[in-house]
Amino acid sequence: MLAIPTPRIHQRLKQVLVLASGSALAAIILTMWVTEYLPPYLRWPLVVLLVVLVSIVWVSVLRRQVVELVEIPLAQCVEAAEAIADGDNSRRVPVGQTHEFAQLATSINRMTEQMLAATQSRMRVEKLATMGRIAAGISHEIGNPVSAIANYAHLLRMRTSDVPGTTEPLDALEREITRIDRIMRGLLDYARPRRLTPKPIVVDEVIEDVVRLLDDQGIVRRFRVSRGLEAPDGIVYAERHDLEQVFVNLLLNAVDAMDREGDVVISSRINDAESITEAIDKRRTDPSPQRWTHRPSKRALAWLARPESPSRFLQIVMADSGTGVAPEDEERIFEPFFSTKQPGKGTGLGLAIVASTIENLGGTIWVQRAREGGAAFVILLPLHSGSSGLLAMTSGERAAVS
């Protein structure tokens, strides 16, 4: 269905003036025809009176048009801008009836969303720096006592191996010590900077290896994992271990979101900024009239609006048929220690590590409702500038590079 273009202000006012001129001319002609047999001293005053009345009516109509087309939309823009300046980031400018104010409202709303995304990004960076300092302190203040407790628990197990009733509490003690250690390691992985040695990586091959690894371990065997990897030239500059950790965490998150069975769909393709901005992506399995439409998140729009963002990039989508993510949690789910799982089922650091890793690679990630009914995590990564040379390699040579 074609969208009807909004008219411009001068077009609407021109229509009013044309109608006013035509009405005045028609009124003059009609009055002169009706008063044709009246004497001139009565005829011309009637004509002038009718012209004045018609002019008054059309001036009031023109005034009303100016108020509706200019003054009210302008007042709404000023009011919304003042509210946004006062900190009301949820405020948006209503789209006007004319092209000029519709374009102005769209620009102000887009600027507000990008400003909000930039503020959230800055807050994440500040939080990351704070957590880095906290993690350094935790590793020293808590790491050593936890190691001592683990050693004492191991010693206690050796000395009480023949004492009945001690095995169960010692198992629980060691299990909780392991959980503390896992939380600490996850926090350090999220917060502390590491010396990186990146190199060109074929992402599709990493995804295949991760799926094969988890399948060999029996983690995804009871789930149907479909792969639509269509980016053999999707090469990014990264550390292979970091990418493996990203896809392992996302797959484990999808498995946890489903009960005993379900579907996981992983797809990759080379995309461009224009198609992402339009937020229209058509899947091969959809009938031609249907389109899979999603609007990128605020963080994705802010990423696309950056001057350094590439025009073409690698897009990876990992979708599942699980419980999905509530709209109010779509941003919070990437915060450290935020988890929708039951207590004790997770540390709340998996997706935070994923988001931190993707952002360190110069990309972005967001979550949205999947066609399968669950959550769809969308990743955008900049392509390696030397990808064209790597494309000429054989698969074995690229594997050696990776």
In DSSP terms, 266 is beta-bridged to 227, 318
Q: Which one is the CATH code of 196-279+295-388: 3.20.20.70, 3.30.565.10, 1.10.1840.10, 1.10.3720.10?
A: 3.30.565.10
Measured CA distances, 53 to 24, 49, 248 (Å)? 9, 6, 78
Q: What angle do CA 29, 31, 37 make, to 5 degrees?
A: 110
Q: Where are the domains of the chain?
A: 9-91, 128-189, 196-279+295-388
Q: Are 42 and 31 in contact (CB under 8 A)?
A: no
CB 331 within 8 A of CB 297: yes
Long-range CB contacts (< 8 A, 24+ apart) of 95-98? Answer: 96/6, 96/69, 97/6, 97/7, 97/68, 97/69, 97/73, 98/6, 98/7, 98/8, 98/9, 98/12, 98/69, 98/73
HSE-up of residue 118 (Cα within 13 Å, Cβ side): 9
Encode the chain (402 residues) as per-residue pLDDT tens digits: 334 456 777 677 777 777 777 777 777 777 767 666 667 777 777 777 777 777 787 777 777 877 777 888 888 888 888 888 777 777 888 877 777 777 888 888 888 877 777 777 677 667 666 766 666 666 667 777 888 888 888 888 888 878 888 888 888 888 888 877 777 776 666 666 556 678 899 999 999 999 988 888 888 878 888 899 988 888 999 988 889 889 988 998 888 888 777 889 999 999 887 776 655 444 444 444 333 345 667 777 778 777 777 888 999 999 998 888 888 888 788 877 777 766 556 666 778 888 888 988 889 999 988 887 888 999 999 998 765 444 444 444 444 444
| Burial class, 239, CB count within 10 angstroms (exposed 0-12 / middle 13-18 / buried 19+) | middle
Q: Could you tell me if 40 and 13 are in contact, meaning their C-beta atoms sit under 8 angstroms apart?
A: no
Distant-in-sequence, close-in-space partners of 124: CB < 8 Å, separation ≥ 6: none
Q: Which two tokens stand for residue 258?
A: 């489903």
Question: What's this model's pTM, rounded to 2 decimal places?
Answer: 0.58
Distance from CA of residue 341 to its chain's centroid?
Answer: 22
